Amino acid sequence: MAKRQVMFTFPRKLIKEPVIYQLSRKFEVVTNIRRADVSEDRGWVVLELEGDDKEIDAGINWVKETGVRVDPVVGDIVEG
């Protein structure tokens, strides 16, 4: 079982969508929220995903397709 620490950033149109709930229903991925800040026009959630690497990858791809931005929790790693 692998763990992946990520940040989801929600645009306004997706604030009311239960994306994280659906992620855990559609894929074999345990979602564990550690920090979050959601307001009426935008929101972010820092969470740990646990599961098979392939399931996590597929789940993340699905989340991106919904329009949510997914970033590593450590921020961008590629520097100038």
Partner 1 sequence: MSFATGLRCRKCGQEYSLQPIRVCDFCLSPVEVIYDYKAMAGELSHQKVSAGPSTMWRYRDLLPVKGEGEIDIGTGFTPLVKADNLGRELGLGQLYIKNDCLNPTYSFKDRAVSVAVTKAHEFGFDTVACASTGNLAASVAAHAAKANMKAYVFVPANVEPGKLVGVAIYRPNLVTVDGSYDDVNRLCAGVSQSYNWGFININLRPYYAEGSKTLGFEVAEQLGWRSPDCVVAPAASGLLFTRIWKGLQELSTLKLIGPVNTHMYLTQASGSSPIVHAFDVGSLHIHPVTPKTIVTSIAIGNPADGYYALMVARQSGGGASSATDEEAIEGMKLLAQTEGIFAEAAGGVVIAGLKKLAASGAIKRDQLTVAFITGAGPRTQEIVADVVQSYRVQPTLESFNEVLGLKV
* Closest C-alpha to 4, from 67, 58, 43, 44: 58
- The verdict on 50 binding partner 1 (CB under 8 A) reads no
- The verdict on 48 binding partner 1 (CB under 8 A) reads yes
For the bound state, the minimum distance from the C-beta of residue 73 to partner 1, rounded and expressed in Å, comes to 5
Angle between helices 19-26 and 53-66 (to 10 degrees): 140
Size, binding site for partner 1 by CB under 8 A: 22
**CA angle, 6 as apex, 4 and 12 as ends, to 5°?**
150
Binding site for partner 1 (CB under 8 A): 4-5, 7, 9, 34-35, 37, 42, 44, 46, 48, 69, 71-80
